[in-house]
Amino acid sequence: MSFLTDASLVFIPSGYKEDKAYSIKPTDGSGDLTFTRASDGTRVNTDGLVERVPWNLAPQSNTFNTTWSRTNTFVPTANATTNPINGQNDAWKLVETAVNDFHFIYQNIANFGGVQQCTFSFYAKAAERTTCSAFLSQSGNVGASFNLSTGVATASGTGNTASMQDAGNGWWRCTVTNNGSASVSNQVRIGIQDGALGSYLGDGTSGIYIYAAQANEGTLKPYFPTTNRQDVPRLDYSNGCPCLLLEPQRTNLEKYSEDFSNAFWTKLNCTITTNNTTAPNGTLTADLITSTGTNETGVYHSLSVSGTNTWSIYAKKGTGRYLLFNTNSPPTIAAKFDLQDGVIVGTPSTGATPSIQSVGDGWYRCIITSSTSTNRFTVFISDNTTTDDFSSSVGLTYYLWGAQVEQGSYPTSYIPTTSAAVTRLADAAYKTGISDLIGQSEGTLFVEYQSTNNGGSGERIIAISNGTAANRIVLFDQLGKIRVYTATGSAVQWDITTSINTLGHHKIAIGYKTNDAVLYIDGTQITTDTTYSVPACSAIYVGTSEAYGISLAGVINQAAIYKTRLTNDQLEVLTGDSYQSYTAMADALTYYYD
Q: Are residues 186 and 77 in the same domain?
A: yes
Q: Do 119 and 209 belong to one domain?
A: yes
Same domain, 49 and 74: no
Check pLDDT > 80 for residue 111: no
CATH assignment at residue 289:
2.60.120.260
Is 534 among the domain residues?
A: yes
23 and 166 share a domain?
A: no
Is 104 a residue whose pLDDT tops 90?
Answer: yes
pLDDT above 70 as % of the chain: 94
> For residue 162, what are the β-bridge partners?
176
Q: Is residue 377 part of a domain?
A: yes
Residue 301 has pLDDT above 90, yes or no: yes
Bigger pLDDT: 174 or 578? 174
pLDDT tens readout for residues 157-169: 777 899 999 999 9
Q: How many CB atoms lie within 10 A of CB 104?
A: 24
Residue 41 has pLDDT above 80, yes or no: yes
Q: Minimal CA–CA distance to 22: which of 35, 7, 33?
A: 33
- Per-residue pLDDT, averaged over 197-215, amounts to 96
Whole-model pTM over 0.75:
yes
pLDDT at 386: 94
Shared domain check, 577 and 464 = yes
- pLDDT for the residue 315: 98
pLDDT at 160: 84
Among 423, 440, 467, residue at a domain's last position: 423
DSSP secondary structure letters along 234-290: -EE-TTSS-EEEE---EEE--SSTT-TTSTTSEEESEEEEEEEE--TTSSS-EEEEE
Q: With respect to residue 63, please indicate whether it lies within any of the assigned structural domains.
A: no
Arithmetic mean of pLDDT, 45-60: 94
Q: Say how many domains are in the chain.
A: 3
CATH number, domain of 207, equals: 2.60.120
pLDDT of residue 181: 65
* pLDDT recorded at residue 587: 41
Residues 500 and 391 in one domain: no
How many other C-beta atoms lie within 10 A of the C-beta of residue 503? 19
Higher pLDDT, 214 or 504: 214
End-to-end CA distance of the chain: 34
Q: Domain boundary residue among 378, 404, 423? A: 423
Same domain membership, residue 294 and residue 412: yes
514, part of any domain: yes
Is there a single domain that holds both residue 328 and residue 464? no
Query: Rounded mean pLDDT of 91-115?
Result: 90
- Identify whether residues 413 and 438 lie together within a single domain: no
Q: pLDDT band at 284, cuts 50/70/90?
A: confident
Residue 243 within a domain: no
Same domain, 260 and 120: no
What confidence category does residue 222 fall into, taking pLDDT thresholds of 50, 70 and 90? very high
CATH of the domain at 454: 2.60.120.200
CA distance 350 to 340: 25
Region at 568 (left for phi over 0; alpha for psi -120 to 50; beta for the rest): alpha
Q: Which residue among 423, 447, 467 closes a domain?
A: 423
Could you tell me which residues come within 8 angstroms of residue 2 by beta carbon, excluding any fewer than 6 positions away?
A: none
Residue 222 inside a domain? The answer is no
Domain range enclosing 184: 69-217
pLDDT band at 593 (very low <50, low <70, confident <90, very high): very low
Could you give the percent of the chain with pLDDT greater than 90?
A: 78
Does residue 454 have a pLDDT over 70?
no
Residue range 132-148, pLDDT digits in tens:
999 887 666 678 999 99
pLDDT digits (tens, 9 = 90+) for 543-592: 887 776 678 888 999 999 999 999 999 999 999 986 655 444 444 344 44
Residue 232, domain member (yes or no): no
pLDDT reported for residue 580: 58
Looking at the fold, whether 142 and 199 belong to one and the same domain comes out as yes
Residue 3 is assigned to a structural domain of this protein: no
Residues 417 and 442 in one domain: no
Which pLDDT score is estimated for 218?
Answer: 87
